[in-house]
């Protein structure tokens, strides 16, 4: 994940956009068709964990590529950005002479891709290396070869697999801290322009391990 983590204004009004599961699948399909129509035929797909896991899996399905692996790069915990993108778990696969497709969810600052590309160069010599993301932001210093959608006006993108994590980060920054689901919902709408099912908001407000069924 490459979010720049721009803070918004002094009131913490970070603009956000939620991507539903259905929207995600549509973006992943668009991305797969771009790769297929370009004539590039990867031998292996490398997902940048964690954000690239699901896009890479959908691409492997559409492109019929069974050779799927990953590399773990850390740059964010929730919406908190570390100073440098670092490789936490290195690539273990043999990439010499292979055509690689490197996949993440979003390219924003470009830091994650820069760290990953440098790491791959130290692991071997691929025959070709192309990059793909669901969203490419104009703020990124790195421009992927393929992207399903270009984001012109910066906003924090909340993917469906990171809803609890991202909403928890937003909740921690809210002043005053909402004391009810209704108050949480109101602040999300007013400050961030997003809305979620009330059950999801209740899950965020519920202490870990205390979910009711």
What does the pLDDT read at residue 155?
Answer: 94
The DSSP output letter for 189 is I
Long-range contacts of 142-148 (CB under 8 A, 24+ apart): 142/107, 142/110, 142/113, 142/114, 143/107, 144/107, 144/113, 146/31, 146/34, 146/35, 146/38, 147/31, 147/107, 148/27, 148/28, 148/30, 148/31, 148/34
Q: Where are the alpha helices (DSSP H) in the chain?
A: 21-38, 53-62, 111-123, 163-173, 181-187, 198-205
Angle between helices 198-205 and 163-173 (to 10 degrees): 70
What is the pLDDT, as a whole number, of residue 88?
77
Q: What are the structure tokens assigned to 182, written together?
A: 């209704």
Which of 95-99, 203-207, 209-213 is most confident? 95-99
User: What are the sequence ranges of the domains in the chain?
Assistant: 16-158, 161-205
133 and 30 in contact (C-beta within 8 Å)? no
Question: Residue 66: in which H helix or E strand, if any?
Answer: none
- Which of the residue ranges 85-89, 119-123, 147-151, 174-178 would you say has the lowest mean pLDDT? 85-89
DSSP H helix total and E strand total for the chain: 6, 8
Could you report the per-residue pLDDT of 16-56, keeping only the tens digit for each? 999 999 999 999 999 999 999 999 999 999 999 999 999 99
pTM for this entry: 0.87
Report the C-alpha gap between 37 and 16 in whole angstroms.
Answer: 31
pLDDT digits over 51-110, tens only?
999 999 999 999 999 999 999 988 654 454 545 678 777 788 899 999 999 999 999 888
Asked whether residue 210 carries a pLDDT value surpassing 70, the answer given is no
Q: Select the more confidently predicted residue: 118 or 166.
A: 166
- The first and second tokens of residue 86, run together, are 């670092």
The hierarchical CATH code for the domain 16-158 is 3.40.50.2020
* Cα 63 from Cα 161, distance rounded (Å): 22
Residue with tokens 């992927």: 144
Cis omega (within 30 of 0) for bond into 202: no
14 and 170 in contact (C-beta within 8 Å)? yes
């Amino acid at each position: 994940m490459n979010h720049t983590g721009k803070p918004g204004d002094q009131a913490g009004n970070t603009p956000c956009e939620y991507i539903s599961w259905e929207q995600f699948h549509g973006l992943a399909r668009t991305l797969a068709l771009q790769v297929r129509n370009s004539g590039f035929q990867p031998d292996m797909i490398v997902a940048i964990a964690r954000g690239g896991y699901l896009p890479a899996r959908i691409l492997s399905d559409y492109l019929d590529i069974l050779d799927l692996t990953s590399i773990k790069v850390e740059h964010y915990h929730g919406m908190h950005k570390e100073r440098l993108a670092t490789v936490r778990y290195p690539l273990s696969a043999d990439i010499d002479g292979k055509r690689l497709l490197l996949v993440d969810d979003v390219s924003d600052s470009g830091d994650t891709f820069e760290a990953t590309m440098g790491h791959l160069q130290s692991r071997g010599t691929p025959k070709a290396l192309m990059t793909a993301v669901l969203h490419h932001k104009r703020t990124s210093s790195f421009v992927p070869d393929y992207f399903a959608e270009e984001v012109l006006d910066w906003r924090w993108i909340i993917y469906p697999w990171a809803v609890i994590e991202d909403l928890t980060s937003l909740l921690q920054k809210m002043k005053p801290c909402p004391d009810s689901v209704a108050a949480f919902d109101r602040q999300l709408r007013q400050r961030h322009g997003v809305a979620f099912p009330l059950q999801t908001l209740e899950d965020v407000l519920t202490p870990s391990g205390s979910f009711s069924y």
